[in-house]
Structure 1
Amino acid sequence: MARPLIVIDPEPRGLGEIFDRDARSLLETLGELAIHDGPGRMPAEPFESLLPEMELLIGQSDMPKARLDRAPKLRAIINVETNFLQNVDYETCFERGIHVLAPGSAFARPVAEMTLGLAIDLCRGVTAADRAMRAGKEKWLLAGAEGCFSLYGAGVGLIGFGDLARAFIPLLQPFGCAVKAYDPWISDHFMAGFGVMPASLEEVLSTSRVIVIFAAVTSENQGFLGRREFELIKPGSVVLLMSRAGVVDFPEFLAQVENGRFRAATDVFPVEPAPADDPARKVEDLVLSPHRAGAMTDSLLEIGRQTVADTGLILRGLPPLSCRRAQRETVQRSRSKPIERR
């Protein structure tokens, strides 16, 4: 009996980035592997030749209806870049029962950990004090803590309540923070189950002292945080941009920080890598992180672990459990961008 054909075309990931020896060995027991490990995606001719027998695709290869029609055995597409790109005919997949999956929660804990670190940094002025001291302009003791506050008991507001926010909630528990969250795609009942108070965007912005932006970019929310929204934030607050730069008016975000309305940190930028003359590099009260919050070796290996786990279930005729599934109601609104290698 022929073993199922698993096509692996992981660009922009490298095979060794996401599969350690154990995961690779387990994957090899599940089927016959047809692997293209870059550079770039698998060329069209060999990829097309694999379609008739392909049962599972690991990667973000283009899968329009014409290709799906030539892949009658296909059961699942797992995008190991962890985005839902607009290069798949999702409707055909839904009609045929083809799972389209993304192991995005692999980054949730590392990003949550980094978010907590940056929040404490901004609340206590750690980076600002370091910069001042290196320049010989520091202030000592209480004078050096002007404008700082403790995270303990501070009101925290979350914009977006996906995997990242849900991983962040447990880290806040020791601090006794009252947490409010805004996410139009999540029910109040679901948020309340995490001990979070559902709130409007305006309420989150105007009543929280620490605001974390976890929202993903969709066709409906690009740049939805602009001057009007930023001016609702209480002066002296802290803002962390941890998801995608596309959800904010980035020049206005920089202007508000530069004008002293709030201190901020960002792990993401409109263009990545940020150019050498990016104005963000010159904003004093902005802590910069070069999109490294989730960039941990173990995070990438977790992508592989989740992929192999769900592959095993799917090939046994069972539903996937580890990866996030594309949903008919929302996936067409996604505006995720693929990673660019430079």
Structure 2
Amino acid sequence: MSSSTSQDSTADDRPLVILQPAPQRSERIFTASARMELESSFRVVDLEDDDDPASFEAALPEAFAIIGQPELPAARLARATRLRAICNVEGNFFPNVDYPAAFARGIHVLGCGPAYAQAVAEFALGLALDLCRGISREDRAFRSGTERYVSAGNTDAILLRGARVGLIGYGNLGRALRPLLDAFDVDLRVYDPWLPDRALADWGLVPASLEELLRRSQVVFMLATVTADSEHLLGAGELAMLSDNARLVLVSRAAVVDYDALWAEQVAGRILAGVDVWPLEPVPADDPYRRLDNLVFSGHRAGGIPQAFQQIGDMVVDDLRQLARGLPPVRMQAAAPELVGRYRNRPVT
């Protein structure tokens, strides 16, 4: 435990916070100033390098908050009589928490997904621009001595400005991407079955069915999270709806797309894709996707940049301070009782 935990709790009435952030490291998500703020406001039991369950159990009855993703079944939560918040700092809501038990107790289960949204949105825009103009493809050609000059390398190029664009999903990622696309004056449609059409219209968006979006869009951004309903949301039938030379940008979760069907469309040369997430990571050395020239590859890099990681620590400190003052959290994403059971997330390695 850290030195701050050795203080007698009767002499220090600051709320107690358990820090066990694996797979994150605390120095990655907390800047020096954020860590100082955390420790000035709370008694921090630092269990980052302490795997002994007894240490966690000893701190649990007094814990005001837990930072991390430990297993928290109902029996464990029952012993945490002062617990007010569980701060997931990995990025996904996992089945490590008995959510009904937490909600029944008024415990806030918070996720750090919003910290990644801007980074992912900018990366998604970069992939779209690459797919529209063949930037990395022609760079590869140059390095192999087969580059093409002037119009010869632009036969399939399109402008993003004014393009027909579709967003599948309008959560954190979609809301971060939309203002970036506004600068390109795109003809935008949105499909999100979790949002009423009138809500999308209130935000100045044009709602569309999945089929309409796929058939009309030149550029499609797959931004949906994975749930029992959205696994293979883009299967063979849906991908076949895409027009020839459509561009698909996939930056959310691999399970929302049927990669065998995507391979078939790409090997036929019908669509271009920029892909950041893969069913198996690292991608195997002999994976046939490596042979595709109409693919822009990325190794799950869209969100995990230093600025995004450091924002997590700031969000945690801000929201724990809010809760300690008797106010609701405002920066992290709260797990919704109606939705959290639908997620099919898996840890990012």
Into which bin does the TM-score normalised by the smaller protein fall?
over 0.9
- Check if 1:161 corresponds to 2:165: no
- Provide runs of 4+ in structure 1 moved above 4 Å: none
Q: For residue 139 of structure 1, report the CA deviation from its aligned partner.
A: 2.6
Question: Displacement, 1:115?
Answer: 0.9
Partner of 2:302: 293
**Structure 1 residue 190: deviation in Å?**
2.6
Aligned twin of 1:24: 35
Taking only the aligned residue pairs, the percentage that are identical comes to 44
Q: Does 1:238 align with 2:250?
A: no
Aligned counterpart, 1:193? 202
Q: How does 1:102-251 map to 2 (within 5 A)?
A: 102-251=111-260
* Deviation, structure 1 residue 147: 1.1
Give the deviation of 1:274 after TM superposition: 1.7
| Aligned counterpart, 1:99 | 108
User: How many aligned positions are there?
Assistant: 338
Specify the SS of the correspondent of 1:52: helix
Contact 2:47/2:55 (8 A) holds in 1: no
Matched, 1:36 2:47: yes
Aligned pair 1:15/2:22, yes or no?
no
Q: Is residue 169–residue 194 contact of structure 1 (8 Å, CA) maintained in 2? A: no
Query: Which amino acid is 1:20 matched to?
Result: T
Q: CA deviation at 1:188?
A: 1.7
> Counterparts of 1:272 and 1:314 in 2: how far apart (Å)?
37
Alignment RMSD (CA, Å): 1.2
Q: Secondary structure at the match of 2:128?
A: helix
Structure 2 matches for 1:248-267, cutoff 5 A?
248-267=257-276
Q: Do 2:246 and 2:272's aligned partners in 1 also have CA atoms closer than 8 Å?
A: yes
Q: Aligned with 1:7: secondary structure?
A: strand
Instruction: Give the conservation status (yes or no) of the 8 Å contact 1:5–1:34.
Output: yes
List runs of 5+ in structure 1 lacking aligned partners. none
| Amino acid corresponding to residue 27 of structure 1 in structure 2 | L
1:271 aligns with 2:280: yes
Deviations 1:123-165 (A, max 9, x none): 0111121222222323321222001110010011011111011
**What is the deviation of 1:31?**
1.3
Offset at residue 187 of structure 1 (A): 1.9
Q: Report the Cα distance in structure 2 between the residues aligned to 1:106 and 1:176, rounded to whole angstroms.
A: 26
Secondary structure of the corresponding residue to residue 56 of structure 1: strand
Instruction: Specify the code of the residue in structure 2 equivalent to 1:73.
Output: R
Query: 1:14 corresponds to which letter in structure 2?
Result: R
Instruction: For 1:21 and 1:244, locate their aligned partners in 2 and report how far apart those are by CA, in whole Å.
Output: 32
| Matching residue of 2:95 | 86
The code of the aligned residue for 1:103 comes to C
Once residues 185 and 113 of structure 2 are traced to their aligned partners in structure 1, the CA distance between those partners, rounded to angstroms, is 28
Q: 1:70 corresponds to which residue?
A: 79
Partner of 2:341: 332
Whether 2:13 is the aligned partner of 1:6: answer: no
Q: What is residue 317 of structure 2 aligned with on the other side?
A: 308
SS in structure 1 of the partner of residue 167 of structure 2: strand
Structure 2 runs not aligned, ≥5 long: 1-11
User: Structure 1: how far apart are the matches of 2:55 and 2:104?
Assistant: 26
